[in-house]
Structure 1
Amino acid sequence: MAFDLQEQEQIDDIKAFWRQWGRWICTGVVVAAVAYLGYKGWGYYQRHVATEAAVLYAPVDEAVRSNDTGKLVASAKALQDAYPSSGYAARASLLAARVAFDHGDVKTAEQALGWVTANAKEAALVAVARLRLASLKLDANQADAALAELAKPVDVAFAAQQLELKGDALSVKGDRKGAHAAYLESLAKMSPEAPRAELVQVKIDSLGG
């Protein structure tokens, strides 16, 4: 088919444009396609992991209801091994720590809490585990170990509790000035209606402040 001069010029322009930019356009299309498929694949993988982790979490619920520490710890360990980054594994480990502590197994409780602080992806779960671990250290008269744990950052929502525990640890060490300052800072971060505000005030008053 013959083309008139104007059509031929348009065709030549298209060819020239394609020679200059065609490779980059193709690359961009391929990258976009791969990114889209990767996004879809990642979403599927995440849903699959969540489903499988939920299945493994079922024995955790059963163990809590039956107060079976051994089964609970084993179920939490299975989640830790299979899906360490899932919220289910962190929550199961927190439950295992609580039940183990209630049964006097402080070592297992500390191990479970330590696992959460090292592996949980949710800042709130890490904070809960860190504060509980510090409390266990304090209960064992390990004030320095408790303070070392409390020196690590926690989610801002837990700052008041962290500072209160810091005050407790400093008080145990005989650092009344440091404890007083920590309690005051803790109280400043609480709402006046907060359940622990009155108790923290009592602690401040007991130190002569």
Structure 2
Amino acid sequence: MAFDLQEQEQIDSIKAFWQQWGKLIAGVLAASAIAYLGFKGYRYYQEQQAQKAAAAYENIDAAVAGKDIAKLKSAVTLLQNDFGSSAYATRGSLILAKAAFDKSDLALAKSQLEWVLANSKDESASAIARLRLASLLLDQKTYDAAIAELNKEHPAGFDALFLDLKGDVLVAKGDAAAARDAYKSALAKLVGDSPNRQFIQTKLDALGG
């Protein structure tokens, strides 16, 4: 009988606990379940979007192989509109920019590079886009705009490339002294026996070291 009484007291204690805290605990569990299902659902959505973006990117490969810039532009536009946050959209935009530049369509090339800079979360891809944009501006003889791009923030691993191109812009602008400084800084940023070292040194020597 004592055991039954003790057992009943435990049951009553549990009942009292659930009467006080049951709704809160149930709510927390429900919220946790919803959050978990939401996370799983979001991951599934991301995976589906990545697969669709990869499929759309195949159209870019086909357009490049066929040297069809109209189809390439259409495929890249689709990626930008529907999968703008994907790496495929960034890569496609850089490819279209290069193809447009090769066709002397500088306006299209510039717009694609600017799209990457405005939308890509990949710092390396953005640095590449900025270098190409600065090079395009150099070709257009808009030297100050090119230098402004090269002075913007970028990953440290790209310092030598940015400084080297800055030297080229300054040479074209007629500022030999500043160009020498840029080339010297570029050489200082190179690691080991970089293949660019001799190339930059040659340009520096041409300016009188």
| TM-score normalized with structure 1 length | 0.89
How far the C-alpha of 1:120 sits from its partner, in A, is 1.5
How far the C-alpha of 1:147 sits from its partner, in A, is 1.3
Indicate whether 1:75 and 2:71 are aligned. Answer: no
What's the counterpart of residue 145 of structure 1? 145
Q: Against the structure 1 CA distance between its residues 8 and 180, is the aligned structure 2 distance closer, same or farther, given a 3 Å change threshold?
A: farther
Q: Which amino acid aligns with 1:73?
A: K
Q: Against the structure 1 CA distance between its residues 191 and 13, is the aligned structure 2 distance closer, same or farther, given a 3 Å change threshold?
A: same
What's the counterpart of residue 208 of structure 2? 208
Helix, strand or coil: the match of 2:152? coil
Which runs of structure 2 are paired with 1:36-51 in the superposition (5 Å)?
36-51=36-51
Distance 1:24 1:193 in 2: 65
Q: Against the structure 1 CA distance between its residues 20 and 167, is the aligned structure 2 distance closer, same or farther, given a 3 Å change threshold?
A: farther
> Alignment length, in residue pairs?
209
Distance 2:85 2:197 in 1: 35
Distance 2:182 2:21 in 1: 64
How far the C-alpha of 1:49 sits from its partner, in A, is 0.8
How far the C-alpha of 1:85 sits from its partner, in A, is 0.9
Distance 2:186 2:22 in 1: 63
| TM-score normalized with structure 2 length | 0.89
* More deviation, 95-104/163-172: 163-172
Distance 2:3 2:85 in 1: 64
* More deviation, 39-48/151-160: 151-160
> Aligned-residue CA RMSD in angstroms?
2.2
Helix, strand or coil: the match of 1:85? coil
* Deviation sequence 1:58-87 (CA, Å, 0-9, x none): 221111111111111121112111111111
What's the counterpart of residue 7 of structure 1? 7
Indicate whether 1:119 and 2:115 are aligned. Answer: no
Distance 1:15 1:179 in 2: 82
Distance 1:155 1:148 in 2: 16
Q: Which amino acid aligns with 1:150?
A: L
Contact 1:191–1:197 (8 Å) recurs in 2: no
Distance 1:157 1:138 in 2: 22
Contact 1:57–1:75 (8 Å) recurs in 2: yes
Q: Give structure 1 regions of 4+ aligned residues with deviation exceeding 6 angstroms.
A: none
Which runs of structure 2 are paired with 1:50-89 in the superposition (5 Å)?
50-89=50-89
* Deviation sequence 1:76-116 (CA, Å, 0-9, x none): 11211111111111111111111111111111111111111
What's the counterpart of residue 106 of structure 1? 106
What's the counterpart of residue 35 of structure 2? 35
Q: Against the structure 1 CA distance between its residues 117 and 11, is the aligned structure 2 distance closer, same or farther, given a 3 Å change threshold?
A: same
Indicate whether 1:172 and 2:192 are aligned. Answer: no
* More deviation, 87-96/182-191: 182-191
How far the C-alpha of 1:19 sits from its partner, in A, is 4.3
Q: Against the structure 1 CA distance between its residues 34 and 180, is the aligned structure 2 distance closer, same or farther, given a 3 Å change threshold?
A: farther
* Identity value in percent: 50
What's the counterpart of residue 159 of structure 1? 159
